[in-house]
Chains A and B, each alone.
Chain A
Amino acid sequence: MKHSRIIITLLFLFAIALARRAQADDAVVELRFENRRFIPQTITVPANQPFKIKITNSSKEAIEFESFKLNREKVVGPGESVIVVLPALRPGSYDFYDDFHQDVPEGTITAK
């Protein structure tokens, strides 16, 4: 009984480690915010594969990376970097924008 509990716990921990490893292996796309615009403005990612976006805010104001279609919103302070994890996307276009500054041009993530 005691051994089976230990084995179950170990299996559970192994599964978590595997899941974390799989997540760590996701492709990371770099996105920078500078001079009131996202660089690059268009990101192309492989469809049906999870990925991460590393957003670096090189401006002196806080921004909020936001996408309604992707259901993501993340505040990035000045000089900070954050990572947004995204699931596998179906082929298509997904817009994103800075919710704090409406004059910032929209960016697009194209999954294909």
Chain B
Amino acid sequence: MKINKQHVAAILAVAGLTMVGLSRGIRHEDPPIRDDAAAPPKIAAILIRSCYDCHSNETRWPWYGYVAPFSWWMEREVELGRKQLNFSEWGSYYQSTKIRKLQWIDRTLSQENMPPWSYRILHPQAALNQTDLVPLLQWIESELASQRSQQNTNASKEHSK
């Protein structure tokens, strides 16, 4: 069978209608912000721009986030991202959890693994350059030092009881 333009158009039409059908009723429910990370405005702006779509409850869902099958993949990625690190729940994390997460953030940023390339393709503005990375890594270092110091203080208090 020879495939002509009409066949291609028919296939595209069926695929389009299937996508429309599958996309009906797609809604993304963002949980409320429980206890957002308190970062200086400059750092908060970088985090919002490059991290918050997957690592907060303030995801900016693009139009294609409502079109199946992309919506399914995005939903899964955001769910996983929030489970791994959620800045909207930062304040509810245990001190040890905050330390672990800060260590991982430090490592992934230093190795330039985040934001992932698949996200950067569609969100080029999310890419982190040296102007972003230097203050971000400095903030992480200072947060880590502060959390560790608080942890030591708490441990000393527990010990002296």
Give me the interface of A with B, judged by CB distance under 8 Å. Answer: 62, 64, 66, 68, 71, 73, 75, 97, 99-100, 102
B76 to chain A, nearest CB (A): 11
Q: Tell whether, in the assembled complex, residue B83 and residue A64 are in contact, meaning their CB atoms are under 8 Å apart.
A: yes
Q: Mark B67-107, 1 if CB is under 8 A from A, else 0.
A: 00000000000001001100000000110110010011001
The interface size of chain B toward A, counting residues with CB under 8 Å, comes to 11
Cα A64 to Cα B94 in complex, Å, equals 17
Q: Tell whether, in the assembled complex, residue A68 and residue B84 are in contact, meaning their CB atoms are under 8 Å apart.
A: no
A69 to chain B, nearest CB (A): 10
Nearest A residue to B93 via CB reads A102
Given pairs A73-B84, A102-B97, 7 additional interface contacts (CB within 8 A): A62-B83, A66-B100, A68-B103, A71-B107, A99-B83, A100-B83, A102-B93
Q: Tell whether, in the assembled complex, residue A97 and residue B84 are in contact, meaning their CB atoms are under 8 Å apart.
A: no
Contact of A102 (CB < 8 Å), options: B94, B103, B104: B94
Q: Tell whether, in the assembled complex, residue B100 and residue A97 are in contact, meaning their CB atoms are under 8 Å apart.
A: yes
